[in-house]
Each structure stands twice: as C-alpha cells, then as structure tokens.
C-alpha cells in the first residue's frame, strides 16, 4: 500500500483483490528459484490483468526477486517497475502486460512449448473479469481446451467491477462459470480472500483444463475503497494512506 | 531441395510463393529442431499437410483466430522455439496488429510472421483480402525486420536466413502461381543488402520489392529500347532495415522510381523518402503504387493493369514524369 501512496494510475483496487491469491501462489504453490530466475522447471506466472502490478510487485518482493530499494522505488518515474509490468525474467516478470486479453494466449504458446520438451511446469494466468470482455481471451480459452493444456491454470479475479462500473452494467458477463464449463473447462469457484480455500483449489488435479473463478472484493481490507468503482485507479493521499493502514491493522488484529 | 538452379526455379515459379513456403516447412523443421509452424485455418492453402503428417507436434493450427495465433507463437518463442506463423497479410498485420506490437515489437520475441496475399494477388476476393497497408504498418514497429522477396528462389534464401538467426520479422509474399523467375542461380543473399539486378547510366534507378520486380525489369528494358533512359534496377528485398549504404550512393542519382504492390504511401517509397528527407543532396522520387483507394475486385492481372503496375503502366508513368520535369 505504501507503494501506491502518492502515485496516480496505479490501480490500487484491482491490486488489492488478488493479494491473497498471489500470497498463496508465491509462498506455497509455485516452484521457482530466486537465484536462477530462468530455471526451466519453474512454474510461470502471467499477470494478464497487468494493472494489478502493485500486487505482483509486493509478491515478487516477498519472494526475493525484488530488492527493498526496487520495491520502494516502484512506479516512481525512471523505475523499471512500471505501472504495467514489463517482461524481465531476472526479476521474475514473465510478460509485458497492459493490453488486455493477451496473457492467456502467451500461456497457450508457452504450454505448447513445455509439452514439446516434456516439462511438467505449470503456468498460472490471472485475468480480470472485466478483461473477459476482450474477444481474444476467448480465442485463447478455446485453444486451451482444444489442445488439452492442463498445465495452464486460469484464475479469473471476479471482483465485479471494471473501469466504467460493475461488470454486469458495463457488459454483462452472465454466468461466467457456465461459459467456461460449456467450452470444456473444469470450473471451480473460490472465495479469493480465503487462503486455505485458495491453496486447496490451486493444488487440485483435474482431468481437463481448469478455470478458477476467484470471487473477490476490489480494494479488500480498506473500507473506503472496497467495492468502489472510483478505486479502480484511485489515488491515495497521505491522509487516506494513514486511514487505509489503520483499517488493515485493525483487520489483522 | 534448396539448390537454386534453372530447373528448380522453374518448378517453384509455377507453384508460387504460397506453395513454396509449404514445401519448405519440412526442410526448415529438419534443419532446426526448434522450428514450429503456427497457422490460422489456412494450412491447406500452403499445402502444409505433408509437414503436418511428418511433424504433428510442431504443427499448430489455432483455427480462425489470428490474434491468438500471433501470441501463441510468441509464447513458443519465449520458451526458446522458432515459430513461423502464416496467414493472409492483412489478417496478420492489421487484425492482430496489437498482438504483433506487444509480443514482437515490445517484448522482442523472435516470431517470423509470414503474410500471403501481400498486394493484389488475392484481390479477386475483394478489399478484405488485399494486403495494401501491411508494409507501412510493420515497418514502423520497433525491432521488426521486414522482407519482401522478388521471387520464389529469393523467398527460400530469406527463409533460411531468418531461421538461421531468428528475430521478430515480417515476411511478405506477393504474386500468384506461374510467377516469372528472376534468380536462376545461387547468389549471396544478405538481409539488409539490396541486389542490383541491372546496371544503368546513373540518371535513373528503379527501387522495388516483391513479384512486381519482374514488371519493373521489363519496364526498364522498354525504356532503354525506346531510348528514354538506361535505368538501373535494384531488388530492395529488405524494407527494414533499409540498405542505407545503397541509398547514400544513390543520393547523387537524379531520379528514383519506387515501385511496389502496396499503397503508394507508407511503404517502400515512404521509407526511402524518409531516408532522404533530411539530406541536402537527394534524388527526386516517383512513387508508383496503389493510389489511396481499394481497387474494385477483379482478376489479378487486370487489377495490376488498372493500378499502373504492369511493365507498360510503369514505363508510361516514368515517361510522363520525365517529360513533365524536363
């Protein structure tokens, strides 16, 4: 949260909604080696909803890919940690995001490559529910099922909000799970703020490619930002930062 | 298979670039174990069935989904493979432009994009299948190499060079079956270095790329026969990076005629004009291409004729230009 204070356009809300997911992935589920970031056996993580960079950087810092100095300088003009992460394997970043609807296709190509060399590593992709408006995401989804790429695990951050309003008001998604199920995915719903449930669902095996719909609250843990459209790209003043930190410590207690 | 000789060149020119590409796939896969072919429901169009049978793991058809095609190829490239994608020029470069931009130009992933139907070859299917802006769009993207071979022999050499040293690239294929042969013997092919096909008296040079090169050679011949001018002809197979050394040399040439099966603006002529824009010493340039409108769907030859891109059309444009400026 300190990261975002004073920075405009950092998408705090969408960053907060995937914090628990990232914590479970980086602390427990994913295989990786900080000292050998291009290790071929690593699980790949692709943040397709790249505007949640703030959450990814915190996770990469926790994992050891980013130094204290780098994380403190994130988003600051001149920093290599952009508001949308840029491909930088040395820092654990696998994709240059920002243009929505493309991360899943990159995962398809990566999974086909891993299969060619019999590498069982997994590829976790996080896409936003608003991002599901992009047609190219569905092209990629169809090809995952068609090529039976079970190494790809797609997590949809279902926080219900996008830039212009709720996902249902802006462009109705309807029953998202049913959409994926009808394509041939195994679909699981999970409370995206429940780390135990997340861990369970992320480590399950299935006999077909999987989609996890992670139900979250945008701006989770910060009452004034929770479920507020304005906090899609809201801006933390010093006062609001204090208030947010107090709420979070209250939650922790 | 890849030896360039008169017999092979004749066979390839009969097949046309599409089929020659399809034929080359197995050869490329044999040479390079990381070669992968990615297409979007047009594999049969290249005759890629043989390749699909021989290398089923390295044959990926994503269906009618060009955006996915480009980024899937990028994912393969990121993991160390050497993907070649192939579909219509306009679907690769216009429909999937943002994917090309993010994966090739921004991330720098070494995908070789092949566009068929560059120019008017598929124009009988209407403007939706004309590739008239592809060079303009691809050449402004950072990190991209843009190549347009003049005939099938040169296509094979370009493929070899691009597979040997993978990079983000766009390879533009023009023409139909039964193309003229320009190269009948092996020759030194270097990306970024134009080939001089014919020397002249230094007063006028043709710069061109793609199968229209054959028409340019004929036009140059008829201009010489008519006593108008002894023009030199250069095959500028690499549009990006431009052959700067050649253009430097030609800055003392009085007139350049750039001929391309592309919109008149933004393509090879645009690139050359940009090169000279800041220089005091520069030739006058005549740009011959399609003039800012989609030609009515018609036979290929007829569309070339109506666009002034046959040998006769090119020669008479040059004649008029020289008369007007005397």
Q: Which of A237-246, B144-153, B257-266, B313-322 has the lowest mean pLDDT?
A: A237-246
Residue after which a domain boundary falls, among B172, B187, B210? B172
- Domain annotation covers residue B308: yes
Per-residue pLDDT, A253: 36
| pLDDT top residue among A18 and A222 | A18
**Tens-place pLDDT, residues B53-91:** 999 999 999 999 999 999 999 999 999 999 999 999 999
Q: Each residue of B59-92: b (16+ CB within 10 Å) or e?
A: bbbbeebbbbbbbbbbbbbbbebbbbbbbbbbbb
Q: Is residue B187 part of a domain?
A: no
Give dist(CA A172, CA A159) in Å, integer. Answer: 14
Confidence at residue B113, expressed as pLDDT on a 0 to 100 scale: 98
**CB-CB: which of B67, B77, B81 is closest to A139?**
B67
Averaged confidence pLDDT in chain A? 90
Domain assignment present for B96:
yes
**What CATH number should be reported for the domain holding residue B83?**
3.40.50.970
pLDDT for res A246: 72
Per the model's pLDDT, the better-predicted residue between A125 and A244 turns out to be A125
Query: Pick from B67, B75, B78: which is nearest to A136 by CB?
Result: B67
Closest among B194, B307, B279, B321 to B245, alpha carbons compared = B194
Does B141 have pLDDT greater than 90?
A: yes
Same domain, B32 and B165: yes
Q: What value does the mean pLDDT take over residues A68-75?
A: 95
Give mean pLDDT, residues A3-11.
56
pLDDT at B1 over 60: no
The CA distance from B168 to B92, in Å, is 13
Instruction: Tell me if B190 is assigned to some domain.
Output: no
Residues B116 and B259 in one domain: no
- Which residues are within 8 A (CB) of A107 and not within 5 positions of it... i.e. 6 or more apart? A44, A46, A123, A125, A140, A144, A152, A154, B75
Could A139 and B62 be called an inter-chain contact, meaning their C-beta atoms sit closer than 8 Å?
A: yes
Residue-wise pLDDT for B16-45, tens only, equals 999 999 999 999 999 999 999 999 999 999
CB B213 within 8 A of CB B150: yes
Q: Do A140 and B71 touch (CB under 8 A)?
A: yes
Counted across chains A and B, CB pairs separated by less than 8 A come out at 90
What's the ipTM?
0.95
Q: How far apart are the first and last CA of chain B?
A: 50
Q: Which domain holds residue B163?
A: 6-172
pLDDT of A9 reads 57
| A36 contacts chain B (CB < 8 A) | no
Which CATH number is correct for A12-252, 3.30.70.1050, 3.30.930.10, 3.30.365.10, 3.40.50.970?
3.40.50.970
Same-domain check for residues B10 and B140: yes
Question: Where are chain A's structural domains?
Answer: 12-252
Q: What is the pLDDT of residue A252?
A: 40
pLDDT tens column, B205-253: 999 999 999 999 999 999 999 999 999 999 999 999 999 999 999 999 9
Query: Which candidate from B73, B79, B106 shows the least CB-CB separation from A96?
Result: B106
For B70, nearest residue in chain A (alpha carbons): A105
pLDDT band at A227 (very low <50, low <70, confident <90, very high): confident
Cα(first)–Cα(last) distance of chain A, in Å?
A: 18
Domain count, chain B: 2
Residue A4: predicted pLDDT: 54
Mean pLDDT of A4-22: 72
């Amino acid at each position: 949260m300190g990261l975002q204070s004073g920075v405009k356009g950092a998408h705090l809300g969408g960053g907060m909604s995937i914090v628990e997911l990232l914590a479970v992935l980086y602390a427990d589920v994913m295989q990786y080696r900080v000292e050998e970031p291009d290790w071929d056996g690593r699980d790949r993580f692709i943040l397709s909803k790249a505007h949640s960079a703030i959450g990814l950087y915190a996770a990469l810092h926790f994992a050891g890919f980013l130094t204290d100095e780098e994380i403190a300088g994130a988003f600051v003009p001149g920093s290599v940690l952009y508001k949308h992460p840029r491909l930088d394997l040395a820092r654990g970043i696998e994709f240059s995001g920002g243009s929505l609807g493309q991360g899943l296709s990159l995962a398809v190509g990566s999974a086909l490559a891993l299969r060619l060399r019999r590498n069982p590593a997994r590829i976790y992709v996080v896409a936003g529910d608003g991002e599901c408006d992009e047609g190219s995401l569905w092209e990629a989804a169809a090809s995952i099922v068609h090529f039976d790429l079970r190494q790809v695990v797609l997590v949809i951050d279902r926080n219900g909000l996008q830039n212009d309003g709720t996902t249902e008001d802006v462009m109705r998604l309807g029953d998202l799970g049913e959409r994926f199920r009808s394509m041939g995915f195994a679909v699981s719903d999970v409370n995206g703020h429940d780390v135990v449930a997340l861990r369970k669902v992320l480590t399950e095996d299935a006999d077909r490619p999987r989609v996890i719909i992670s139900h979250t609250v945008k701006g989770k843990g910060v009452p004034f930002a929770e479920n507020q459209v304005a906090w899609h790209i809201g801006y933390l003043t010093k006062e609001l930062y204090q208030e947010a930190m107090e709420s979070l410590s209250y939650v922790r207690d | 298979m890849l030896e360039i000789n008169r017999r092979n060149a004749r066979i390839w020119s009969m097949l046309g670039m599409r089929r020659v590409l399809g034929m080359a796939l197995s050869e490329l896969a044999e040479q390079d174990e990381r070669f992968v072919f990615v297409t979007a429901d047009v594999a049969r169009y290249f005759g890629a069935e043989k390749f699909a049978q021989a290398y089923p793991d390295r044959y990926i058809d994503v269906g009618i989904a060009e955006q996915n095609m480009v980024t899937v190829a990028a994912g393969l490239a990121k993991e160390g493979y050497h993907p070649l994608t192939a579909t219509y020029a306009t679907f690769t470069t216009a429909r999937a432009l943002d994917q090309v931009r993010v994966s090739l130009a921004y991330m720098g992933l070494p995908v070789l994009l092949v566009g068929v139907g560059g120019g008017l070859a598929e124009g009988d299917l209407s403007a939706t299948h004309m590739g008239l802006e592809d060079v303009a769009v691809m050449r402004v993207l950072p990190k991209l190499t843009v190549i347009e071979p003049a005939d099938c022999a040169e296509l094979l050499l370009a493929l070899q060079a691009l597979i040997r040293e993978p990079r983000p690239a766009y390879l533009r294929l023009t023409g139909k079956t039964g193309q003229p042969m320009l190269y009948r013997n092996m020759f030194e092919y270097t990306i970024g270095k134009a080939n001089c096909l014919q020397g002249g008296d230094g007063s006028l040079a043709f710069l061109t790329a793609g199968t229209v090169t054959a028409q340019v050679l004929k036009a140059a011949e008829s201009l010489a026969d008519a006593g108008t001018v002894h023009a030199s002809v250069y095959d500028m197979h690499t549009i990006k990076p431009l052959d700067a050394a050649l253009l430097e040399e030609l800055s003392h040439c009085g007139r350049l005629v750039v001929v391309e099966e592309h919109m008149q603006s933004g393509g090879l002529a645009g690139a050359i004009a940009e090169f000279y824009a800041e220089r005091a010493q520069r030739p006058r340039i005549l740009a011959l291409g399609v003039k800012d409108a989609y030609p009515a769907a018609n036979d290929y030859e007829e569309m070339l004729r109506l666009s002034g891109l046959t040998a006769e059309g090119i020669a008479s444009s040059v004649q008029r230009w020289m008369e007007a400026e005397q």
